[in-house]
Structure 1
């Protein structure tokens, strides 16, 4: 039998590699074919919009799917076809065709992020190893953010932007094939991570008898999609741990979304116009190392405490990057910020898995991811339009990380441990 965690991580790595390379690939493809990146920017906007808008509906479909594995294989296949179609039509066919392909592919984005991560609660039911599993899952995001833009850039430089974009379609296809090997256990064993009534108050919108239903039980599949979405929203609001980490990550990503734009401004203002990518790359590499380091921590510290420390460290390091006068030192501070930021994703995923009701787990993951993407998009827009220099921008981003760190204990002053795990035959 295929071991669940390696099969999952291979799938997630290819899927997120494809997703992380889209922004650069579309810009290069449009520039190569039209002489302007405008069509690429419009296609990227169409690609990103469904990440937030479609998240509740995609989550509802995932909750109601009889076979979660088949649902993910289908989503990754559509993701791959959309990228292949964009490779063919962007800059060659009417813009509406490109935008339609982008919207279709972007609608699968929530599956690549939160939807895929929601499967880990089933694949790794043992709380003693789940922190490591989610840290490794977080590392797939960080690794993709480092490797995908580099691979797209090198391929476009050596060949052209067309094979660079096709490379991403191939990665998404590989994810669809690899997803066939993920041994998702039956839903009737998926109550292990559900907190008991003593640990989590019952949601008014979700009676206790229904809260124990697995995500793809008959009751869940026959409930209206609106009720499924409502259950996810109710969980995010009613469960203190989920409310706290969702609010904190939204505030954090409002700042992180503008980090790339700010890094470009910082490099130009420091007299290094050819090194715009250095701070962002340093942040991504630091994030990868931080996520891998988190995988060695085991079950402690508590995920919420880890998230608060990560946010505080990220904010402090970015403040240093804003204030140091030497550009290489600023790049080093970006790396330190990434090193602190790395554990945040692992802690976020762990909190969702530990405290989301089993019947709304996928909704909690996809909604949380959609809200973060929306906040990041708003942050990027603000960074690109506000008439300030890089230092005020970077200090504002740092302040948002510190504010997010303070939100966690304010919204959930006494985070609870998850309920004891039920024994399971599935092992990573």
Structure 2
């Protein structure tokens, strides 16, 4: 488990730092962040489209840890190539590297998380394992932007990007060192990759997400919530400016990420944590309530504290989401379910960023309340869609 957590943190550290590294590289080399924004768009664009493909390939791999390790190596190599080419080489080459790196991005998030389900039995043990997995996301979200900014200030954006590529490379090596899951030891279960993927295989994960009520509920709910999460960076900047501190938007986002880290660690130590669906509802309600209060807070310190409380709900939500995917995804499509779920959430977040950006002229209070309402709606969806899955409850899964 320690090796897995180290692998996941290093990979997600690289992933969380890419956005700011590209912006800093573009400013350092061209004087404008515009080219960095274009490259970041190319990096994010293929996530949802590539998710079913890389997920299906991972399911077919004879040695899963080798496949995941190679995907992480490609991820790191793409980051390194971005650091070498942005602002120095023709833009099509840089965009091509971004598209390749973004295509294996789902393996860094959902793909890695899918490995835990093959190693940890269902029940509270699995909840704790996925709570610890969630901490790698939150810890990376806290550490990566700070590390990249510090490295770029002390040295250069080029070396800061090299730091991210090295982190991904180390994750690839650690992935190879992980203990073999059963699938690695029984290669006969996995058809050879040279036969290629049939179109129907790419739809298995989509069908699972739609037809299995528990997966449908958590997928729809988290996508609605992430419409709000995607708009949170813009909202935080505007809210900080309204409080008289225009540069404190980053402080609010850091507080949210730290809250998520504390929330995940808390679930990991919670011996009698609620069933995953209930845990998801509680997390969404906590985030909605705290963000609504933050919109009305009288000063910046209160706003920071309430953003931290909002993040405190985000940690349990991520834990519950990962646990539900692990418990209810069909074994033959588990990795696809994880990669698709991650890709859809990212797509929803990107749509949320665009939506809030289009309405950035509205008061920050209104935008923050909008994000809170989306989380409240997501909690209602978990409740409403979850009722339909009651008759299909599998004994022991939510114990």
Q: TM-score, normalised by structure 1?
A: 0.88
Q: CA deviation at 1:419?
A: 4.9
Aligned residue in 2 for 1:201: none
2:205–2:340 Cα contact (<8 Å) kept: yes
Cross-structure match for 1:50: 46
CA shift in 2, pair 1:97/1:222, >3 Å = closer
- CA deviation after TM superposition for structure 1 residue 219, in Å: 9.9
Report the CA distance between 1:279 and its aligned residue: 0.5
Is 1:343 matched with 2:339? no
* 1:229 CA displacement: 2.2
| Aligned pair partner of 2:366 in 369, 386, 392 | 392
- Secondary structure of 2:117's counterpart equals helix
Determine whether 1:110 maps to 2:83: no
Instruction: Identify which of 239, 242, 250 aligns with 1:266.
Output: 239
Instruction: Provide the rounded CA distance (Å) in 2 between the counterparts of 1:129 and 1:403.
Output: 30
Residue of structure 2 equivalent to 1:30: 26
Change (3 A) 1:57 1:299: farther
1:287-312 residue CA offsets vs partner (Å, 9 max, x unmatched) = 00000001012463100000001001
| Aligned position for 1:138 | 134
**1:403 — aligned with what?**
377
Q: Alpha carbons of 1:134 and 1:220: their partners in 2 closer, same or farther (altered >3 Å)?
A: farther
Q: 2:225 aligns with which of 252, 255, 263?
A: 252
Secondary structure at the counterpart of residue 300 of structure 1: coil
Give the Cα separation in 2 of the matches to 1:228 and 1:220. 13
The whole-number CA distance in structure 1 between the counterparts of 2:26 and 2:299 is 35
Q: Secondary structure at the match of 1:354?
A: helix
How many angstroms apart in 1 are the aligned matches of 2:300 and 2:393? 43
Partner of 1:210: none
State whether residues 25 and 164 of structure 1, in contact with CA within 8 Å, keep that contact through their aligned partners in structure 2. yes
8 Å CA contact 1:62–1:68 kept in 2: the answer is yes
- Shift of residue 223 of structure 1? 8.3
CA gap of 1:133–1:221, structure 2 versus 1, over 3 A, is farther
- 1:179 counterpart = 2:153: no
Inter-partner Cα distance in structure 2 for 1:42 and 1:419 = 49
- What is the CA-CA distance between 1:216 and the residue it aligns to? 5.5
C-alpha distance in 1 between matches for 2:323 and 2:40: 30
- SS at 1:184's partner residue? coil
SS for the counterpart of 2:246 is coil
Gaps of 5+ in 2: none
Aligned-residue RMSD, C-alpha: 2.0
Alignment map for 1:323-334 (pairs within 5 Å): 323-334=296-307
Aligned pair in 2 of structure 1 residues 266, 216: CA closer, same or farther (>3 Å)? farther
CA contact (8 A) 2:74 2:101 kept: yes
Separation of aligned partners in 1, 2:193 and 2:282: 37
Counterpart secondary structure, 2:203? helix
CA distance 1:333–1:215, change in 2 (3 Å): farther
Structure 1 position 237, deviation (Å): 1.0
Out of 328, 331, 338, the residue aligned to residue 365 of structure 1 is: 338
> Secondary structure in 2 aligned to 1:301?
coil
Distance 1:225 1:321, change over 3 A: farther
| Inter-CA distance 220–252: structure 2 relative to 1 (3 Å threshold) | farther
SS for the counterpart of 1:180 is: helix
| Structure 1 unmatched runs, 5+ | 191-213, 422-428
Corresponding residue for residue 235 of structure 1: 208
TM-score, with structure 2 as normaliser: 0.95
Structure 1 position 217, deviation (Å): 3.5
1:119 aligns with 2:115: yes
- Change in 2 beyond 3 A, CA 1:403/1:379: same
1:56, distance to aligned residue in structure 2 (A) = 1.1
Q: Is the 8 A contact 1:354 1:418 kept in 2?
A: no
Query: How far apart are residue 97 of structure 1 and its match?
Result: 1.2
1: distance between equivalents of 2:125 and 2:74? 32
How do 1:173-212 and structure 2 match up within 5 A?
A: 173-187=169-183
Measure how far apart 1:79 and its partner are: 0.6
Mean CA deviation greater in 376-385 or 294-303:
294-303
The answer (yes or no) to whether the contact 1:308–1:405 under 8 Å persists in 2 is yes
**1:66 correspondence with 2:62:** yes
CA contact (8 A) 2:61 2:193 kept: no
Count of matched residue positions in the alignment of Structure 1 and Structure 2: 394
In structure 1, the residue corresponding to 2:177 is in which secondary structure? coil
Write the deviation string for residues 366-416 of structure 1: whole angstroms up to 9, x where unpaired. Answer: 111110000000001111121312111110000000000000121121546
Taking the TM superposition and a 5 Å limit, the aligned residue runs for 1:4-43 are: 5-43=1-39
Q: Distance in 2 between matches of 1:111 and 1:326?
A: 41
CA 216–167 in structure 1, closer or farther in 2 if over 3 Å, else same: farther
